[in-house]
Amino acid sequence: MKKIVRYAAIGLMTTTIAACSSSNDPTPVVSDDQSTTGTTATTGSTTGSTTATTGSTTGTATGSTTGETTGTATGSTTGETTGTADGSTTGDTTGTADGSTTGDTTGTADGSTTGDTTDTPTGTTTAGSGATGLGNPPELPNPFADPIPGPVASDPFGADLEIDNEVAVAGAAPTTPKNLRIELISNDWAEINWAPSNDDGDVVQYNIYRSDGHVYTVGRDQTDANGGTQAEIDKFWRTTSFIDCNYTRFLDRLHECATNGPQAGDTFSYTVSAVDNEGNESELSNSITITYHADSNAPVPLYDDFYKEPDDKFASVNDLSNTANFLGSFTEVFGDEFNGDAIDATKWNTSLTWGDNSIINGEQQYFVNTQRDPDFGFNPFKFNGTSLLIEAIPTPDALADNLPATCDEPDPTGNERCVFLSGALSSHDLFGMTYGYVESRMKVGGESGMLSSFYLYHRYPGEGKNHHAPEIDIIEYLGENPFGDEDAFQTYHYGNVNDRSTMSAPTMEYKNPTGALYSDDFHTYSVLWEPQLVIWYIDGQEVKRLSGPQVGRQQMNIVAYLVAGSAWAPTPDLNADNFPLQLEIDYIRAYQRDAYNGNGLYPAR
């Protein structure tokens, strides 16, 4: 029997945590100390010259992929981990790129949002390669340039690019880092990757040379007192990758993103060298060039992708900064207006893919599965005739015996489990699609301890070279943010193809330009997902964008739920008079254009 311990509130964890993160570790531990600064990085002895070549390394290393070490580094994910390892993997997921795309692809917008949108045009689908003619399509820097090469289907996520077959020479410097490539680009950060160098001793450091003279260091022995920061340091080393600049973890620590991070529109070239335990530094790697996305409506150069027809220029010829400019060429393939009086079981599960077996992120609510347990004693789903309300309440003592054994287990964060009851919706095994547009009109929760979440999540992580486990967090909103302002958060996560760890974007955020809280009223939150491109919208206006070969390409389903207390959201005050906590959803809809309509799993329509 679960005994519910009553207390008024829990002191906030002294953490620097950001938004939701999928992980193969269902209970990542975050133990951060904001008061301790990071270790100062050392730099190598040579600066090297860079060559401004866009695109990525195409040469492939042969040989077997590296081992499949499971799990993520403890505390390596930021904020709420919505995904857990779902165990069963399938081989039907083909991947994104091997690092072959990049450069000056697309941009992020943090322009002002418009008023609340209550309806989305469906229209009639048009040819996927055509332009809508709406808005102001951006001019391509070189409209006659050949398309940027795309990924290869046999190695969609670049597993083989992590192999360096060059043999180290005794007493010499490490082998030159191979296959430096771009994985993702946003407006003020980018993720790069390279194959680990070989040495007759030990490689202990990589120097990342940026064309403005700044040098970052990824070191084997770098340390930081902040648990989340240390986990990111360890992940950079383990995966030979780097984010310039992960302001979630390094805003004023180690890499000092507040000072050194790129800005929208910046262009930099990068090279990498390796340093061994004798102080020998390798020659410089190949050079790559990154143009960070403009704030809005950035040009999308022509690019190839094995999931895209060669003449499909949708992303390059349209103004994607406002949903009204392109949704007329999409068709609605899934929708729930929540106008009834019960959850539609043909569209939604009232449980998540991992069920009761895992409680993630120190979350303190139990999601009542009303479809499996209709007599549980509490139904978190309420209907008012026009919308759905997901409610959270303190767990009544009388219902404690109905809770699963997982609730009695100690949580790694120290949080007490199942103190609250709430609800979750997931369309897995009922609806899923690859590429399209997903939108919800909702009123997020504004009370302390509430975390309103709406995102896309993989059903299966994939296996072998197709492992990717993508997740697109459309909106996460803290009713009270103990780490900053109550902004709207957007995040992206995927699984590293070689060691299965979760790779997470810096937590992106967008402030309401009106100055009001998002929880004050209804807003639409949405995402456009294309091959190698993701754009987030609020009230129809673009707010963030990322592009690159690590954008997910396997089928994802829709998830929406209300968290009550977690390692990110403070514990709601049990003695407060604001229960039930409520997330109100007017509708959830999904759209696809002709190029991809029919590639998913759809309810009867």
Residues contacting 51, CB < 8 A, separation 6+: 269, 287
Residue 133 confidence (pLDDT)? 76
Q: How far is Cα 533 from Cα 542, in angstroms, rounded to an integer?
A: 13
User: What's 407-454 look like in SS3?
Assistant: HHCCCCCCCCCCCEEECEEECCCCCEECCEEEEEEEECCCCCCEEEEE
Interval 94-102 mean pLDDT: 35
Q: How far is Cα 477 from Cα 475, in angstroms, rounded to an integer?
A: 6
Whether residue 78 is predicted with pLDDT greater than 90 in this model: the reply is no
Whether residue 82 is predicted with pLDDT greater than 80 in this model: the reply is no
Interval 502-511 mean pLDDT: 96
Cβ 450 vs Cβ 562: under 8 Å: yes
Cβ 81 vs Cβ 455: under 8 Å: no
Of 400, 416, 361, the closest CA to residue 10 belongs to 416
Q: How far is Cα 399 from Cα 453, in angstroms, rounded to an integer?
A: 25
Q: Supply angle C-alpha 117, 120, 125, rounded to 5.
A: 155
Residue 129 φ/ψ region, left for φ over 0, alpha for ψ in the -120 to 50 degree band, beta for the rest: alpha
Q: How far is Cα 364 from Cα 422, in angstroms, rounded to an integer?
A: 10
Residue with token string 């609250």? 420
Cβ 454 vs Cβ 559: under 8 Å: yes
Whether residue 54 is predicted with pLDDT greater than 60 in this model: the reply is no
Residue with token string 């190698």? 532
The H or E element containing residue 228 is helix 227-239
Q: Which pLDDT tens digit goes with each residue over 134-151? A: 999 999 888 889 999 999
Q: Is 214 exposed, middle or buried (0-12, 13-18, 19+ CB in 10 A)?
A: middle
Whether residue 105 is predicted with pLDDT greater than 70 in this model: the reply is no
Residues contacting 422, CB < 8 A, separation 6+: 365, 366, 367, 368, 380, 390, 391, 392, 561, 562, 563, 564, 581
CATH code given to domain 160-592: 2.60.120.200
Residues contacting 319, CB < 8 A, separation 6+: 132, 134, 135, 136, 137, 138, 297, 325, 326
Residue with token string 């309420």? 382
Cβ 13 vs Cβ 413: under 8 Å: yes
Q: Across-strand partners of 530?
A: 533
Cβ 402 vs Cβ 348: under 8 Å: no
Cβ 177 vs Cβ 154: under 8 Å: no
Of 405, 179, 175, 136, the closest CA to residue 274 belongs to 175
DSSP label at 229?
A: H
Cβ 125 vs Cβ 66: under 8 Å: no
Count of CB atoms situated within 10 Å of the CB of 434: 18
Model confidence at 130, pLDDT cuts 50, 70, 90, reads low
The residue type found at 19 is A
The residue type found at 415 is N
Q: How far is Cα 132 from Cα 116, in angstroms, rounded to an integer?
A: 23
Query: Which of 27-41, 202-216, 226-240, 376-390 has the weakest average pLDDT?
Result: 27-41
Q: How far apart are the first and last CA of the chain?
A: 44
Query: Which of 7-16, 198-207, 210-219, 563-572 has the weakest average pLDDT?
Result: 7-16
Whether residue 498 is predicted with pLDDT greater than 50 in this model: the reply is yes
Of 154, 157, 161, 200, the closest CA to residue 180 belongs to 161
Model confidence at 216, pLDDT cuts 50, 70, 90, reads very high
C-alpha radius of gyration, the chain, whole number: 23
Whether residue 419 is predicted with pLDDT greater than 90 in this model: the reply is yes
Q: How far is Cα 577 from Cα 506, in angstroms, rounded to an integer?
A: 35
Interval 113-142 mean pLDDT: 60
Cβ 483 vs Cβ 16: under 8 Å: yes
Whether residue 92 is predicted with pLDDT greater than 70 in this model: the reply is no
Whether residue 80 is predicted with pLDDT greater than 50 in this model: the reply is no
Whether residue 3 is predicted with pLDDT greater than 60 in this model: the reply is no
Q: What is the mean pLDDT of the chain?
A: 83
- CB hemisphere CA count around 311 (13 angstroms): 4
